[in-house]
A and B are shown apart, each in its own frame.
Chain A
């Protein structure tokens, strides 16, 4: 800490762009704030030998003082952490209570209209929402509760009209259960919207085939969707669709490593020069892995649906961009392997420690009020793009 007198002197020097003082004057100003000369340097310099002698003398009387000082530090450390721990616990409880109240005040009752009312006042909504979920232990429901969370989140997003939701879960267990996840989400969507209004829904994952393969060819979906496409197109309210992208830790660094390997291979066979590797190239390649497209091989199989397909595709390919908002359902902000390239400008919101209750690390609960708070923060944030 600098004494105020010296601070004023320093600031005067800064104002004159360093012309006020000479180098020596500045050194004298700095002197009192410098750390002691390290022992390695002291003896080597002739001028500082005297100070070295003084130091030895000083050190002889120091042991008791330094011992007491270190004891004091230890005591203080434990005192601070005792008090701070209590403070953190109190804060957790406070947040838990607030969250309970918010949960009571804002409940969606599984009606899209209510959810829409809750976000009506927000100035903007994300086009691509991303969430970080954690797989809980078996006693907390494990995979089942995780899939439940995904279903709820996609229903809320569908109600608001967020076209793309990406779900990050570290282990990637969701990717291997896409089929059951799809049926669960579909059930949830129809319970929110009613059987006739169910939004169209697709599951995607990088390097996995999308599910269902084509938006309307799955037999389970065929009766509801095919009958509903035409009337809903004529309705004033356009038919919603929601895409869910499943991400895991392999889509982060590993994808970049894969890209590097491919590029290295190409370079080794002289198909590419390292100079050609630009930010735009990597960006294009990486966004291709997470982009959502209607898989072309299945298109010819459903010629009757062709009129609706191109329109669908157009709206979909424009969505494959970086997430606008990332909601972390966990006690504190930790990306935990989230794809690094994509989070550049993403607004990050963490629901806070209340979600996990007092058990701390066990991962956050997905609650509607946390979702709403995240949207609220996003609407209030201001983008500056470096300016």
Chain B
């Protein structure tokens, strides 16, 4: 299991150095439900690093929701220890523990007889915040999740759409500013278009608030899109692999993970891998320096690529086609097929080439940065 962590949402190009501080740590956790011989979760050691989004994924009945619910002790473990920010919380008062941890579920579960503002204010009220602080916080959170406080504060949950309700659900989870958020398939019951938008907004929010988030999903696309790390659970609540999304996709630890990732994994990976995370083929501007074997290109005054000037082993230059660095490998393949060229230049937001990607490289193993060998 590698220790490095993909830099989250800010997506700098270099992986952040190893961090040793887990916000949540499960140590030797086992859960056996009464009357059952099989473990729901078996001997689980699991660290959630501070500020990360960790996705728990696996087939039905693999213990991912059980694991999540043991983190705030909605389900009490049969044995083992739970540490929250270094503090052993295995034996503390469960209700008080849960007030320190945000909780968002698929069915949202807003209180229908409360206004939106009152729903968000539940935990702050219990914690005894004064009125003014609560009002300010409610407005702040409604803004954060993209709902205009003036329009939504005094409405009731049943007057809101499913997507709006889940925004309120997220705001409610964040209300008392917990360090940790537990989310159980929060976007699972929402239509695909709204879900996609909510996921984007969720990443945007996480960039601002940098919480430690544990997120149960059954959707691999969602796991790869949102997760800094993915934990794949197998039957009997056994953790099969816990790693970065690209490691899960490129190097499944065993047959179970390989099968779970699925036969479409190779193509799926293309649309999930951003070009910025690839080790691109080095290219250089014509005339500056031409190390043997590197493609070179002619550039205009602004440094934008205009045409290929030299490609090793090729006499007739193909047209120079570019794809943005922010795109995915899938985009690059699309452009190659569309333009019938085996080579694209990858450019940054100012159209300056950062490297090249070849058709040939795609069928070999795609080298990515920021992970251990």
A and B from one assembly?
no
